[in-house]
Structure 1
Amino acid sequence: MRVAFISLHTSPAERPGTADAGGMNVLIRALARALQAGGDDVEFFTRRSRPEQPDTATLDDGLVVHHIDAGPARPLPKSEIDQYIDEFRDNLGSLDAFDVVHSHHWMSGVAALPLARAAGIPHVMTFHSVAAHPNSPLRDGEPPESPARLTGEVTCATQSDLIIAVSRYEAAVVIGRCQADPARVSVVWPGVDTDLFRPAAPDEAWTPAPSVRPGYLLYAARLQPLKAPDLAIRTLAALPEAERPDLVVVGEVSADFADYEAEIHRLVTDLALDDRVIFLPGQDRESLARLMRHSSVMLVPSHSETFGLVALEASSSGVPVLAAAAGGLTEAICNTHTGILVPSHDPQDWADALLPLLRDDELRLRIGATGRQRAEQMSWAHVAGRTRDAYRRAIASGPIRHIAFLHAHPDDETLASGALIAHLVDAGFDVSVLTATRGEFGEVVPGPLSHLAGTPALEYRREAELAGALTSLGVRGHAYLGIPPARATDEPRRYLDSGMIWLRPGVAGPAPDSDDASLCRSDEAEEVADAVAYLRHCGADLVVSYDDDGGYGHPDHVRMHDVAKAAADELGLPFAALTTDRDKATRWFDLTGYLPRVASALRNHRTQLTVHDDGATITHSGGQTEPIVTSTGLVGQVPHLP
């Protein structure tokens, strides 16, 4: 899939802990890397915040970032950026080259939703934070919420095709406060880089600065009231003086909280902790990981967190976490197992919870080891897989839900489109197959079934073979052209195999002895009417059949292309043709992972072909040997499919 990540107010290239960059920046960049490692293409779109930023940049990990003009090209307080949402949308332009638009934070969603709708692309929303309730005390010390945010979050929650929440807590808030449909909300916990965030080796001594003593506490977040760095400092002051470790505070203030940093420094001085509290600026990922694994306890005192990624990173580093029992932190931390959750923001309660950890080395080691074990089960690859499943769900719930494949003979379905059919079934689409004939005049594989050639029994055998193949592919809806529900009148009829002869190089025609009831000699208008009846019956939203040359020129294939396209046109449905020419394809699907499933389906067609022991090649009844097709393309009106 091609996925557009919209991150209007902050770039994935920004260092967490600086300005408005934080856990969201870490999450979206790590998720994008993991999706790309799994074969998807992800591109970021963010606001240009410095004049020297190019229109398009490639980060050191290969991710592409597009800088969009919206407001002055300088850092802005987050509270001022929403006035440039419309300009960002206007300059963002069309998104129809993508299969999914994934917006991060409400401003991104408000900007991108109309563009996704215009392009017919599913819009997926992740909030990362939701506005505090108007009566919430958490707003003390915070700038007032923009009225646009409160209405914008409701718009994003109610109009997005799917919401991916980073915690059950966030899902409940989005449903309860923002009116999201619970059926359109999925929870996908963030992951962690367990190679980067690892426990310290026994002989790996290190301190962040010469003045910092080993066994320090660590706080790492933006300096703003919501993150409660003041509580971390007051907790230190509440400890017995003889047992106070150093506290390393990592983070910077954003423009919305320009005066807060001075308040925090005054608090340190007022509590006589100048020799115990060390302030460091926002760190790169490697430096933060080193700070974590050498700390004794990680403090996460936030008043609210949608998840609290830094807590999971500390667990992965083998460090116990002391965290507020607030929001998603109750999911990032397993209380008493990977950390301790404190149900209040009273400094004495925090000090009382912290002291046992400081006094008991064995307890810290045990909690740290459990945290590491849990983190190892939460890789970004796992998160990417669940996110990819969510994207497929969003696509499958869009305007294209039911796809009908129209083919001429049994085994064509699997030979030409088996991998694609299985892939679409797995992605959550309803897939139906309409077959025109039973391949009555086709050759039979030499061997124990040769006696069926030219007999009525061959028709029934091939019906059974096709039923088995479709079951292997996961198809539940199937009919034969001319038999209800694929019949426009009350009287059923059979369309017979036309056979084939080469009229001249590259041009085939029906066999001279083909029956008048054969597909090519029957009335095409009647065939189209029967196909229309079936497409109406199954509720198809997209019609797929052969290319205009029938793949290799078989006249029945060419006729079914014409019938399928005419039926789609009559119903106003999009039509897409199968192709093996990558250069010709409007959309190409590399589906080699489906080879075993396609081979299993083909093994049902014993009268028509033989699957070799390698499970990758077949020999047709006529003696031709070729590889099993798993990669295929679609030409024409191809909607956004996974």
Structure 2
Amino acid sequence: MRVAFISLHTSPAERAGTADAGGMNVLIRALAGALRSIGVDVEFFTRRSSPDQADTVTLDDGLVVHHVTAGPARPLPKSDIDAFIDEFRDNLGPLDAFDVVHSHHWMSGVAALPLARAAGIPHVMTFHSVAAHPNSSLREGEPAESPARLEGEIVCATQSDLIIAVSRHEAAVVIGRCQADPERVVVVRPGVDTELFHPAAPGSSWTPDGVAAGYLLFAARLQPLKAPDVAIEALALLPEAHRPELVVVGQSSADFADYESQLHRLVAERGLTEKVTFLPGQDRESFARILRHASLMLVPSHSETFGLVALEASASGVPVVAAAAGGLTEAVCNTHTGVLVPSHEPAAWAKAISSLLADPELRAQMSRTGRSRSLRMSWTHVAEQTRAAYRRAIASGPVRRIAFLHAHPDDETLASGALIAHLVDQGFEASVLTATRGEMGGVVPGPLSPLEGTPELQERREAELAGALAALGVRSHAYLGMPPARAKGGDPRRYLDSGMEWISEGVAGPGDRASERSLTLSDLAEETDDAVAWLSHIGADLVVSYDDDGGYGHPDHVRMNEVAKAAAARLGLPFAALTPHRDKADRWFALEPYLPQVAGALRHHRTQLTVHDDGATITHSGGQSEPILTSVGLIGTGFGHL
């Protein structure tokens, strides 16, 4: 699976706590890395914020980031960036190389949604934050939300194929305020890196330079929404004789250029200059070290969709004092991993902080509980939940059940095995219809040679086909002419292999031994009726078969192309032709990772071919050898969600 992560306004490479980089940056980079570890390829697309940024860079953890020109190539206040959404979309280009487009934050969604629609690719949305309601009282100093954001969030919520919310709180807001369909909203809470974030070693006494042990910690972008002023005011109310120090990690963004100076003035006014240390945004390792040696983590935000830093504190064995706001009520287990404060009154915060500082046994218990809880919230688990959500989004499109129509046993794996395995892996229902048992085909020289031309060969090939289909993950199969692939009122019938002759190297033509019961000499209308009955039975959304020349000219392949197209047309279903030629394909699937699975399926067809020890090539019963096909294309329309 290939997934495009759209993060217009901030790059995953930005350090959390600087400018507009925060928990979202940490989350999307950690999620992308975890997805890669379970086999999902992720590439980022973000706005170019410096003329020195290359078009594409690879980060030190292997993640690929594409820089897209949109507006001036310099850092911009987040409130100014929405003016360049259209330019970002225009320069982003087509996204049809991906299986899923996952947008992060509303601006990304507005930019990417039309491109995903044009490519027929499912669009998944994660908001990370939702605009304040127009009628709500904004926190003093917060800029008013732009009309573009309020409208854009509704577009993203109502038009995306699936919304992944990071908390139940966010899900409720997206449904209630942004009009999202509850059936299209799933909750996948963030994870935490428990190797990076871990408790300090017993007896360790490290502190930041100039800071005494037992310090309190606040870490976030410096803006009114995060309420660092509440932490400072609460500190001022603690008894001077027992007042700990406060470390503030973070910087202000361009939208709040003067706010950091206001905080410094507040510290001076409260006589706390010797008690408050300001540090800039830190790299992840440095921040983890600062966090694990803190006594308490303070998260007084007025609103958080989740509050990832609270979970990182728990993983570090540090109790949390947090506002009972939004997703923080899910990030913190009240009285078990920390304390939730129901207001932003400094006196209430001072009381909660004092109570915990005076009770080391309770803090120790919270430390153990927080660590234990965090160990159950790994990023790998989050990645698996996210991949399941992607599969749901893919399978919820107009195409869910794909019907593959083939002429003989082994054709299903040779021509489309990798594609079938891929689609099954993505959550689609793949069904196979086989026209004949391949009775006229040769048998691989060896112990099975005596089966050639006997009734036992048909039974053997039915068993081989069953094994191959199971290896590909196919659970629904039928033979043309046999119920449910038989028109109503008709007695079951068995269409026979028509045989073929080689006309030239790699090109086949009709044989001269075809029975009147063979596929090519039977009535095309009757065969089409049978195929229609089967397609209706399985509820097919898309019909897939050979191209017009049957791949290499085999008459039964050509006939099945005719049957499949006629049946699809009668039912009004889209038809797609398989092609091994990339230049002819309307959609190309590079599926090399499925080679072992395809080779395993082919090994069941022992009477027809031999899989070499390299697991990548085969030799047919006639002696011709070729590589196992994995990459394949489709010609046609109506299969954009595949």
Q: TM-score, normalised by structure 2?
A: 0.87
Query: Superposition pairs for residues 135-174 of structure 1, below 5 Å?
Result: 135-174=135-174
Deviation, 1:572, is: 6.5
Deviation, 1:560, is: 3.2
Contact kept? 2:35, 2:42, Cα under 8 Å? yes
Query: Superposition pairs for residues 82-93 of structure 1, below 5 Å?
Result: 82-93=82-93
Matches of 2:626 and 2:50, distance apart in 1 = 53
Deviation, 1:471, is: 6.0
Contact kept? 2:193, 2:379, Cα under 8 Å? yes
Query: Superposition pairs for residues 65-464 of structure 1, below 5 Å?
Result: 65-202=65-202, 204-209=204-209, 211-414=210-413, 417-418=416-417, 420-441=419-440
Matches of 2:618 and 2:56, distance apart in 1 = 49
Matches of 1:128 and 1:110, distance apart in 2 = 15
What secondary structure, in the 3-state scheme, does the structure 2 residue paired with 1:327 have?
A: coil
Superposed CA deviations along residues 240-262 of structure 1, whole A, max 9, x for unmatched, are: 22221110011111222233223
What residue is the counterpart of 1:51 in the other structure? Answer: 51
Matches of 2:514 and 2:244, distance apart in 1 = 92
What residue is the counterpart of 1:589 in the other structure? Answer: 591
Matches of 2:359 and 2:624, distance apart in 1 = 71
Q: Which amino acid aligns with 1:14?
A: E
Q: Which amino acid aligns with 1:371?
A: G
Matches of 1:520 and 1:635, distance apart in 2 = 25
CA distance 1:183–1:625, change in 2 (3 Å): farther
Matches of 2:2 and 2:466, distance apart in 1 = 34
Matches of 2:422 and 2:67, distance apart in 1 = 35
Deviation, 1:513, is: 3.0
Matches of 2:73 and 2:621, distance apart in 1 = 68
CA distance 1:582–1:357, change in 2 (3 Å): farther
CA distance 1:631–1:380, change in 2 (3 Å): farther
Contact kept? 2:16, 2:282, Cα under 8 Å? yes
Indicate whether 1:519 and 2:519 are aligned: yes
Q: Which amino acid aligns with 2:360?
A: D
Deviation, 1:79, is: 2.0
Contact kept? 1:315, 1:338, Cα under 8 Å? yes
What residue is the counterpart of 2:576 in the other structure? Answer: 575
Matches of 2:623 and 2:97, distance apart in 1 = 39
CA distance 1:560–1:318, change in 2 (3 Å): same
Contact kept? 2:421, 2:594, Cα under 8 Å? no
Contact kept? 1:15, 1:284, Cα under 8 Å? yes
Contact kept? 1:568, 1:575, Cα under 8 Å? no
Deviation, 1:435, is: 1.0
Q: Which amino acid aligns with 1:4?
A: A
Superposed CA deviations along residues 585-622 of structure 1, whole A, max 9, x for unmatched, are: 92122344974x9858976x79878999x997999996
Superposed CA deviations along residues 522-546 of structure 1, whole A, max 9, x for unmatched, are: 4557645654564465443433335
Moved more, 388-397 or 300-309: 388-397
Q: Which amino acid aligns with 2:515?
A: D
Deviation, 1:629, is: 6.2
CA distance 1:502–1:112, change in 2 (3 Å): closer
Deviation, 1:279, is: 0.9
What secondary structure, in the 3-state scheme, does the structure 2 residue paired with 1:149 have?
A: helix
Matches of 1:305 and 1:627, distance apart in 2 = 57
Matches of 1:364 and 1:582, distance apart in 2 = 65
Moved more, 534-543 or 242-251: 534-543
Moved more, 379-388 or 62-71: 62-71
CA distance 1:454–1:328, change in 2 (3 Å): same
CA distance 1:120–1:506, change in 2 (3 Å): closer
Matches of 2:475 and 2:50, distance apart in 1 = 55
Superposed CA deviations along residues 114-150 of structure 1, whole A, max 9, x for unmatched, are: 1211221111110000112233345333111112211
Matches of 2:583 and 2:594, distance apart in 1 = 15
Moved more, 538-547 or 368-377: 538-547
What secondary structure, in the 3-state scheme, does the structure 1 residue paired with 2:590 have?
A: strand
* Number of residue pairs matched by the alignment: 638
Structure 2 stretches lacking a partner, 5+ long? none
Superposed CA deviations along residues 187-225 of structure 1, whole A, max 9, x for unmatched, are: 11112222222222336542212x210111110001111
Moved more, 416-425 or 230-239: 416-425
Q: Which amino acid aligns with 1:249?
A: V
Matches of 2:616 and 2:43, distance apart in 1 = 37
Matches of 1:617 and 1:59, distance apart in 2 = 33
CA distance 1:468–1:215, change in 2 (3 Å): same
Moved more, 265-274 or 457-466: 457-466
Q: Which amino acid aligns with 2:574?
A: L
What secondary structure, in the 3-state scheme, does the structure 2 residue paired with 1:303 have?
A: coil
Q: Which amino acid aligns with 1:577?
A: L
Matches of 1:466 and 1:252, distance apart in 2 = 63
CA distance 1:96–1:232, change in 2 (3 Å): same
CA distance 1:461–1:49, change in 2 (3 Å): closer
Q: TM-score, normalised by structure 1?
A: 0.87
CA distance 1:578–1:336, change in 2 (3 Å): farther
CA distance 1:582–1:29, change in 2 (3 Å): farther
Contact kept? 1:58, 1:64, Cα under 8 Å? yes
Matches of 2:635 and 2:358, distance apart in 1 = 69
Deviation, 1:173, is: 0.8
Moved more, 382-391 or 54-63: 54-63
What residue is the counterpart of 2:494 in the other structure? Answer: 494
Matches of 2:420 and 2:41, distance apart in 1 = 22
What secondary structure, in the 3-state scheme, does the structure 2 residue paired with 1:405 have?
A: strand
What residue is the counterpart of 1:560 in the other structure? Answer: 560
CA distance 1:561–1:26, change in 2 (3 Å): same
Contact kept? 1:417, 1:632, Cα under 8 Å? no
Matches of 2:611 and 2:367, distance apart in 1 = 53
Matches of 2:599 and 2:320, distance apart in 1 = 49
Deviation, 1:2, is: 2.5
Q: Which amino acid aligns with 1:223?
A: L
Matches of 1:623 and 1:217, distance apart in 2 = 77
Deviation, 1:99, is: 2.1
Deviation, 1:450, is: 9.4
Superposed CA deviations along residues 327-367 of structure 1, whole A, max 9, x for unmatched, are: 11122122233222222222222222222432333433332
Deviation, 1:406, is: 1.1
What secondary structure, in the 3-state scheme, does the structure 2 residue paired with 1:478 have?
A: strand
What secondary structure, in the 3-state scheme, does the structure 1 residue paired with 2:333 have?
A: coil
CA distance 1:243–1:578, change in 2 (3 Å): farther
Q: Which amino acid aligns with 2:52?
A: E
Moved more, 360-369 or 573-582: 573-582
CA distance 1:361–1:628, change in 2 (3 Å): farther
Moved more, 213-222 or 59-68: 59-68
CA distance 1:175–1:242, change in 2 (3 Å): same
Contact kept? 1:223, 1:252, Cα under 8 Å? yes
What secondary structure, in the 3-state scheme, does the structure 2 residue paired with 1:586 have?
A: strand
